[in-house]
Amino acid sequence: MSRSVKARLRNSAISVTPSVSFVAVILAAGQGTRMRSARPKVLHPLAGRPLILHLLETVRALKPERAFVVIAPGMTEVASAVAPVPTVIQERPLGSADALRAATAAFADWRGTVLVLNGDVPLLSAETIRRLLDARRKAPAPGIVVLGFRPEVPGAYGRLVLGRDGGLERIVEARDASSDELAIGLCNAGIMALDGEALARWLALVGRDNAQGEYYLPDLVAIARADGARVAIVEGPAGELLGINTRAELAVAEAALQQRLRARAMDGGVTLIDPNTVWLAHDTDLAADVTVHPNVVFGPGVRVASGVVIHAFSHLEGAEIGTGAIVGPFARLRPGAVVGKSAHVGNFVEMKKARLGEGAKANHLTYLGDADIGAGANIGAGTVTCNYDGFAKHRTEIGARAFIGSNSALVAPVVIGEGAIVGAGSTITKDVPADALAVNRPPLELRAGWAIGYRKRKAKPPADKI
CB atoms within 10 A of CB 156: 11
Exposure string for 28-64, b = 16+ CB within 10 A, e = fewer: bbbebeebeeeebbbbbbbbbbbbbbbbbebbeebeb
Is pLDDT of 459 > 90? no
Is pLDDT of 264 > 50? yes
Q: What is the pLDDT of residue 211?
A: 78
Rounded to 5 degrees, φ, ψ at 456 are -65, -40
Is pLDDT of 465 > 90? no
Q: Which residues are catalytic?
A: 364
**Position 463 confidence tier, pLDDT thresholds 50, 70, 90:** low
Is pLDDT of 4 > 60? no
Residues 103-135: tens digit of each pLDDT: 999 999 999 999 999 999 999 999 999 999 999
**Average pLDDT estimate for 243-272:** 96
CA 9 to the chain's CA centroid = 44
Residues 380-421: tens digit of each pLDDT: 999 999 999 999 999 999 999 999 999 999 999 999 999 999
**Position 425 confidence tier, pLDDT thresholds 50, 70, 90:** very high
Q: What is the pLDDT of residue 19?
A: 42
Q: Which domains does the chain have, with CATH numbers?
A: 3-240 (3.90.550.10), 269-438 (2.160.10.10)
Q: What is the pLDDT of residue 7?
A: 46
Is pLDDT of 16 > 60? no
**Average pLDDT estimate for 235-246:** 93
Alpha-carbon span 40 to 431, nearest angstrom: 50
Q: What is the pLDDT of residue 13?
A: 38
Provide, rounded to the nearest whole percent, the portion of the chain with pLDDT above 90.
83
Is pLDDT of 74 > 60? yes
Q: What is the pLDDT of residue 6?
A: 47
**Position 246 confidence tier, pLDDT thresholds 50, 70, 90:** very high
Residues 316-335: tens digit of each pLDDT: 999 999 999 999 999 999 99
Residues 157-204: tens digit of each pLDDT: 899 999 887 788 889 988 889 999 999 999 999 999 999 999 999 999
Residues 362-375: tens digit of each pLDDT: 999 999 999 999 99
Q: What is the pLDDT of residue 466?
A: 57
Q: What is the pLDDT of residue 8?
A: 45
Is pLDDT of 305 > 70? yes
Whole-Å CA distances, 258 to 45, 46, 167, 243, 432: 13, 9, 36, 17, 48
Report which listed range, 210-224, 226-240, 269-283, is most confident.
269-283
Mean pLDDT over each residue of the chain, to the nearest integer: 92
